[in-house]
């Protein structure tokens, strides 16, 4: 087995590719890191005056919720290897070498789900997530190892469009082909290879959210907005004013009863329209961040427009429009790296199992199962597996349980 540590033992610029030995005129373009690295690490402030980088962006609760929603779902859903069944359809290929890497364990210290979560987070925060495919001597991938996103650059062959990956380390640089690197990126891209991180394209909205949060914190920390004021019928001497101020603050801070003298009158300050606009602006930033990450606002705990009737539809929209592009990106990366040409030609594939996300409530599931059973589409044991129930004897027949003739559809 080729140990991963070999990447750190050499500084040669060898391309591990079946297409080695190209012509000397072959040109490859490298995205200039100087432009985006400054923004990525927060060296360039946005218009609001703050620096937006992965760490500061995660300090915004809405950003953290969106990142954990997408990465967490990619982590918790099962991923399986399937092959075409002889009688049509597909069946699980649990004995394939890629099954364990995609479903169980990516490497001895990282589960498959944990690797997907971290690489998806890298893609959301930096524009790309990467993992190295460590192969045995026979070419099989035996483990997937995450690479720091800021150490990998993607280059593109200007003639063929084929990407290659430059790993920058203290020992030097190494190049790898697209067959050796799991690469997951956001759908938005300017060159078709490097993804545009949501926190980069929406950095102004995130920066404004950070500014509003900091302003509110300073305002309340410094008691910048008084709850009211004292009005006196006559002018007070400086020492009397100081005494009254100290007495008033001591009583109100301790929660005691305030006693007014010297013809004092307390006037409470009401909420101004600017305060309401400030609150509305902070709420609107949640919606803007939801747009940037392409998730429904209700999944960022904004229930201002949520009803019981549209929450179910929001779940479907989340899976179909928000999560499915990430699932498809992962499936393509798995197939590209973990499967051989023979596997792909024979119909072996890697897919997310999203049935659990698309299931309705108990009554909706029961109605769907009843229709499938009556139509002869589903057996009793197949229906029981959907509810995590054990199989029963005689449950593999395509019988219609709603007829009394005893006939079957076998």
pLDDT digits 0-9 by tens, 258-312: 666 666 776 665 555 455 566 777 777 888 898 999 998 888 877 666 665 656 6
- 344 lies in some domain: yes
Q: Which two tokens stand for residue 56?
A: 């500061």
Q: 21 in a domain, yes or no?
A: no
pLDDT given at position 403? 76
Q: What is the per-residue pLDDT across 176-204, written as a single tens digit (0 to 9) for each?
A: 999 999 999 998 888 888 889 998 888 88
pLDDT exceeds 60 at position 333: yes
Same structural domain, 213 and 290: yes
Rounded CA-CA distance 61/286 in Å is 9
Answer whether residue 49 shows pLDDT above 60. yes
Do 160 and 307 fall within a single domain? Answer: yes
Closest CA to 95 of 114, 84, 81, 78: 81
Domain that holds residue 231: 226-268
Give the single-character DSSP code of 59. Answer: T
- Does residue 3 sit within a domain? no
Asked, for residue 2, whether it belongs to a domain, the answer is no
Choosing from 212, 235, 268, the residue where a domain stops is 268
Among residues 268, 297, 321, the one where a domain terminates is 268
Same structural domain for residues 286 and 184? yes
Phi and psi based region of residue 46 (left: phi greater than 0; alpha: psi -120 to 50; beta: remaining): beta
In a shared domain, residues 221 and 309: yes
Together in a domain, 257 and 375: no
The pLDDT tens digits of the residues spanning 387-400 come to 667 778 888 888 77
Do 251 and 330 belong together in one domain?
no
DSSP state of 60: S
Rounded Cα distance, 161 and 29, in Å:
10
Question: Quick one: 214 and 301 in the same domain?
Answer: yes
Whether residue 23 lies inside any domain: the answer is no
Give the helix/strand (H/E) hosting 286. helix 273-293
Pairwise CA distance, residues 222 & 244, whole Å: 21
- This model's pTM is above 0.75: no
Q: What is the pLDDT of residue 204?
A: 86
Count: domains in the chain: 3
Asked if residue 176 and residue 235 are part of one domain, the reply reads no
Spell 123-144 as b/e; 16+ CB within 10 A means b.
bbbbbbbbbbbbbeeeeebebb
22 domain-assigned: no
**Span between the terminal Cα atoms of the chain, in Å:** 49
Q: What is the mean pLDDT of residues 212-235?
A: 66
The residue from 236, 268, 300 where one domain ends is: 268
pLDDT tens digits, residue range 309-328? 656 677 788 888 899 999 99
Within this chain, do residues 284 and 307 fall inside the same structural domain, yes or no?
yes
pLDDT for 180 equals 95
């953290």: which residue's tokens? 64
Ranked by mean pLDDT, the top range of 51-60, 203-212, 220-229, 271-280 is 51-60
Residues 218, 135, single domain; the answer is: yes
Whole-number CA gyration radius for the chain: 30
Domain identity same for 291 and 382: no
Query: Do the domain assignments include residue 4?
Result: no
- Residue 120 resides in a domain: yes
Are 83 and 159 found together in one domain? yes
Contacts with 276 (C-beta within 8 Å, 6 or more apart), sequence order: none
């Amino acid at each position: 087995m080729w140990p991963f540590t070999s990447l750190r033992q050499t500084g040669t610029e060898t391309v591990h590719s079946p297409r080695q030995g190209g012509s000397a005129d072959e040109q490859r373009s490298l995205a200039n890191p100087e432009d985006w690295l400054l923004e990525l690490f927060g060296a360039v402030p946005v218009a609001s005056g703050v620096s937006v980088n992965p760490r500061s962006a995660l300090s915004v609760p809405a950003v953290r919720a969106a990142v954990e929603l997408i990465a967490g779902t990619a982590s918790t859903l099962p991923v399986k290897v399937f092959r075409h069944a002889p009688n049509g359809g597909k069946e699980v290929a649990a004995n394939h070498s890629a099954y364990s890497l995609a479903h169980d364990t990516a490497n001895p210290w990282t589960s498959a789900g944990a690797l997907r979560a971290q690489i998806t987070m890298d893609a959301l925060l930096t524009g790309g997530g990467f993992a190295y495919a460590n192969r045995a001597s026979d070419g099989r991938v035996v483990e997937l190892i995450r690479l720091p996103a800021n150490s990998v650059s993607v280059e593109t062959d200007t003639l063929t469009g084929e990407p290659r990956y430059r790993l920058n380390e203290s020992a030097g640089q190494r190049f790898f082909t697209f067959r050796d690197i799991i690469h997951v990126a956001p759908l938005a891209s300017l060159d078709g290879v490097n993804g545009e991180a949501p926190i980069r394209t929406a950095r102004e909205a995130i920066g404004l959210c950070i500014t509003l949060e900091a302003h509110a914190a300073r305002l309340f920390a410094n008691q910048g907005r008084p709850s009211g004021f004292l009005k006196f019928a006559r002018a007070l001497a400086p020492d009397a004013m100081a005494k009254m101020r100290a007495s008033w603050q001591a009583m109100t801070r301790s929660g005691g009863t305030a006693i007014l003298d010297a013809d004092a009158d307390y006037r409470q300050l009401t909420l101004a329209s600017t305060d309401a606009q400030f609150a509305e602006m902070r709420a609107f930033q949640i919606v803007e961040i939801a747009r940037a990450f392409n998730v429904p606002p209700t999944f960022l705990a904004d229930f201002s427009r949520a009803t019981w009737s549209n929450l179910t539809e929001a779940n479907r929209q989340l899976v179909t429009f928000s999560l499915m592009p990430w699932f498809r990106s992962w499936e393509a990366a798995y197939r590209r790296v973990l499967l051989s040409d023979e596997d792909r030609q024979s119909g072996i594939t890697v897919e997310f199992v999203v049935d659990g996300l698309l299931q309705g409530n108990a009554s909706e599931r029961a109605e769907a199962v009843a229709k499938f059973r009556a139509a002869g589409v589903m057996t009793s044991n197949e229906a029981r597996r959907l509810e995590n129930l054990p199989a029963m004897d005689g449950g593999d027949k395509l019988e219609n349980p709603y007829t009394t003739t005893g006939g079957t559809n076998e």
